[in-house]
Chains A and B, each alone.
Chain A
Amino acid sequence: MVKICVIRVGGTNCDEETKRALDELGAVCEVIHFKKIVKGKKKLSSYDALIIPGGFSFGDHVRAGAILGKEMKYVLSKELKRFVEEGRPILGICNGFQVLVEADLLPGFGGGIPQAALAINDSARFECRWVYLRVESGGKCIFTRGLKKGEVVSMPVAHAEGKFVFPKGKEEEYLKKLVGGDQLVFRYCNDRGEPARRKYPENPNGSFYDIAGICDPTGMIFGMMPHPERAAFGIQLHNWTEMEDIPEYGDGMSIFRSLMEYLGCGG
């Protein structure tokens, strides 16, 4: 039996959609308030994986994802360190990705200070629509092992701060590290899989190198701006009413299926 913890705080969204997708695959998925873990009423160690969903955790006050990220880093540091060392996967979706970056878990180059940020979209707007993603992972990221490198998938984004940036002057060095370590997982692209080259609207936010999702050096911690749980079922697809044969699942399900397979509950 696989037990998965979906963390929620004030401002979280899509926690129920995430649970619904995982329930479909046979996981025992619990939506737990972060404070219950902080206060020890729920133990992180009793779960096989942790998911930080989207939304606007703590109202996105201070910065998007900052408060939850820093509380994870400083208040929950021991439990989280053990969780990661024991090889339990962590997924951050949208705001959850921002949280993992603020918690210094992504890109996870070490050094104790943030090595990336998710800045305001170049369009200065909240971008809420479907985008294409090209799989860049060569297999390190455990959340995309069900997908092939070069494959194009489609999922929706919904964010105002999704522009992935490295520190100025470090871009090329960090990109080399990211690509060399097989940590680049998803890039925004067009429907033919050609990189967006930072062009709008294929790249919805102006992300450096069209980065949409990255993992840490172990492949166990993964963050992505698009929402797989909003593309998990066929009837969530934007054009499902026009389809003659509605597929049972959407591309997003592959993220959760890959996780389940990693945890030994595939099929």
Chain B
Amino acid sequence: MGKVKKYRAKVEVRLKSGYLDPEGESAKKALIDLKYPVGRVSTAKVYEIEFAASGLRKAWMVVEEMCKKLLANPVKDDYSFEVEEIR
């Protein structure tokens, strides 16, 4: 068991492709009005989570669990995250 350290996770949750993203669509239309020739625009939610864990591997596992248990519904959401130690 390692010493308990502080970590910060940055979790990004986005809709799987094929699901309607009205905010992304609105942003796309507005960007086109502003003369940017953009293609697909999608939005995502970002959670920054500070927590303690006994090591990076453990911290990573905890975040994975947070995503599965609450932050994403696997039917319609994809998620990705990074974890860093807070020094």
Tell yes or no: A197 within 8 A of B by CB: no
Contact A62 B70 (CB under 8 A): yes
Query: Within the complex, what minimum Cβ distance (angstroms) separates B59 from chain A?
Result: 20
Tell yes or no: B53 within 8 A of A by CB: no
Within 8 Å CB of A166, what residues of B?
A: 75
Query: Within the complex, what minimum Cβ distance (angstroms) separates A194 from chain B?
Result: 26
**A116 to B74 Cα, complex, angstroms:** 9
Tell me the total A-B contact number using a CB cutoff of 8 A: 40
Question: Which of these, A66, A115, A120, A121, contacts B75 with CB under 8 Å?
Answer: A115
Q: Give residues of chain A (125-172) contacting chain B, Cβ–Cβ below 8 Å.
A: 165-168
Pick the interface stretch among B2-10, B15-23, B30-38: B15-23
Tell yes or no: B54 within 8 A of A by CB: no
Query: Within the complex, what minimum Cβ distance (angstroms) separates A151 from chain B?
Result: 30
Contact A116 B19 (CB under 8 A): no
Query: Within the complex, what minimum Cβ distance (angstroms) separates A164 from chain B?
Result: 10
Tell yes or no: A70 within 8 A of B by CB: yes
With a 10 A CB-CB cut-off, give which of A70, A115, A117, A121 has the most chain B CB atoms. A117
Within 8 Å CB of A80, what residues of B?
A: none
Given known A115-B75, A117-B75, A117-B76, contact A168–B70 (CB-CB < 8 A): no
**How many residues on the B side are at the interface (Cβ–Cβ under 8 A)?**
16
Within 8 Å CB of A74, what residues of B?
A: 69
Question: Which of these, A62, A113, A115, A119, contacts B19 with CB under 8 Å?
Answer: A119
Within 8 Å CB of B22, what residues of A?
A: 120, 124
Within 8 Å CB of B16, what residues of A?
A: 168
Per-residue contact bits, chain B 62-87, to A (CB 8 Å; 1 contact, 0 not):
00000011110111110000000000
**A102 to B69 Cα, complex, angstroms:** 10
Per-residue contact bits, chain A 39-75, to B (CB 8 Å; 1 contact, 0 not):
0000000000000000000000011001100100010
Residues of B within 8 A of A (CB): 16, 18-22, 25, 68-71, 73-77
Apart from A114-B75, A122-B20, A168-B16, what are 9 other A-B pairs with CB-CB below 8 Å? A62-B70, A67-B70, A70-B70, A116-B75, A124-B20, A124-B25, A165-B76, A167-B75, A168-B18
CB-CB nearest 4 A-B residue pairs: A124-B22, A117-B75, A117-B76, A167-B75
